């Protein structure tokens, strides 16, 4: 990068966070891990930090950040085969990180979507004829 451009960039101050919740992101995630509801987190922030935020704001705040993290995980690597292997079924030796939990969630959702797509049809349709229920042997 050109030295003049670098100096200009260094002179521009950082923008403050767009959300008042951003400085408390780690705390909010920890509370969610401890099974706090969004309403409970809102009460906690009000009583402990004096921060008055509606619970739906906290939900939206986390939802956006979770989506971004999922997008980052998907862009970093391809999902492996969702079928469980003996290594995948055994309990992990170390505590899972947030990224590992996201990967497991994504794998489970992909597997669920594949299973739903693989379900066989129950009805048969031919144009000009009424809809008929297939017998168990043809499903």
Terminal-to-terminal C-alpha distance of the chain: 64
What's the mean per-residue pLDDT of the chain?
A: 78
Can you tell me which residue has the tokens 């939990």?
Answer: 101
Provide mean pLDDT across the span 114-131.
75
Q: Is 133 helix (H, G, I), strand (E, B) or coil?
A: strand
- Band (pLDDT 50/70/90 cuts) for residue 92 is low
- Band (pLDDT 50/70/90 cuts) for residue 138 is low
DSSP string for residues in 49-103:
I-----HHHHHHHHHHHHHHHHHHHHHHS-----S--HHHHSPPSSPPPHHHHHH
pLDDT for 85 equals 56
pLDDT digits (tens, 9 = 90+) for 5-38: 888 888 888 887 788 898 999 999 999 999 999 9
Each domain of the chain, given as residue ranges in start order, spans 18-77, 96-139
């Amino acid at each position: 990068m050109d030295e003049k451009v670098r100096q200009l960039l260094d002179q521009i101050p950082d923008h403050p966070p767009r959300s008042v919740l951003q400085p408390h992101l780690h705390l909010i995630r920890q509370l969610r891990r401890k099974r706090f509801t969004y309403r409970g987190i809102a009460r906690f922030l009000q009583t402990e930090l004096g921060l008055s935020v509606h619970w739906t704001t906290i939900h939206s705040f986390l939802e956006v950040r979770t989506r971004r993290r999922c997008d980052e995980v998907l862009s970093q690597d391809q999902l492996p085969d969702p079928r469980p292997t003996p290594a995948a079924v055994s309990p992990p030796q170390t505590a899972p990180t947030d990224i590992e939990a996201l990967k497991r969630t994504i794998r489970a959702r992909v597997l669920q979507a594949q299973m739903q797509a693989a379900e066989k049809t129950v009805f048969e349709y031919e144009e000009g004829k009424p809809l008929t229920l297939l017998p168990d042997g043809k499903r």
